[in-house]
Amino acid sequence: MSSVRIFVSGVVQGVGFRYFVVAHARNLKLTGWARNLPDGRVEVEAVGERGIIDELIKKIRVGPMAAHVASVNIEWLEKDPAYQGFETRY
């Protein structure tokens, strides 16, 4: 198992980005969460197999149609937190 923290910047708030991430992560059977940050970025934490997380990262780099992803910053984590499902956080 692997875990990652992802920071996404660009036009990623108010365009359904978190829900896009949650839907794809659930489809991939990952656990974790996505939330908006006060500075306009979206933060994602995901746990699962490395190859499956890489698939989510590919989706995040594109985002939903209304979004414009300017950058994706990825931090692989040492610990694998235990989450139940994948949720939107506020």
Q: Taking the chain (90 residues) in consecutive chunks of 10 residues, what is each chunk's mean pLDDT?
A: 96 97 98 98 97 98 97 92 89
Residue 38 lies inside a defined structural domain of this protein: yes
**Which of the following is catalytic: 5, 26, 35, 36?**
36
Contact criterion met (CB below 8 Å) for 88 and 23: no
Work out how many domains the chain is built from and give that number: 1
> pLDDT value at position 84?
87
Residue 65 lies inside a defined structural domain of this protein: yes
Q: What CATH number does residue 6 fall under?
A: 3.30.70.100
CA distance 55 to 58: 5
**Which of the following is catalytic: 18, 26, 35, 41?**
18
Contact criterion met (CB below 8 Å) for 57 and 6: yes
For residue 39, the tally of other CB atoms under 10 A from its CB is 9
Q: Is 63 helix (H, G, I), strand (E, B) or coil?
A: coil
> pLDDT value at position 14?
95
- The answer to whether residue 18 is catalytic is yes
> pLDDT value at position 81?
80
> pLDDT value at position 79?
80
Residue 90 lies inside a defined structural domain of this protein: no
Supply the range of the domain harboring residue 45: 2-77
Residue 70 lies inside a defined structural domain of this protein: yes
> pLDDT value at position 6?
98
> pLDDT value at position 17?
98
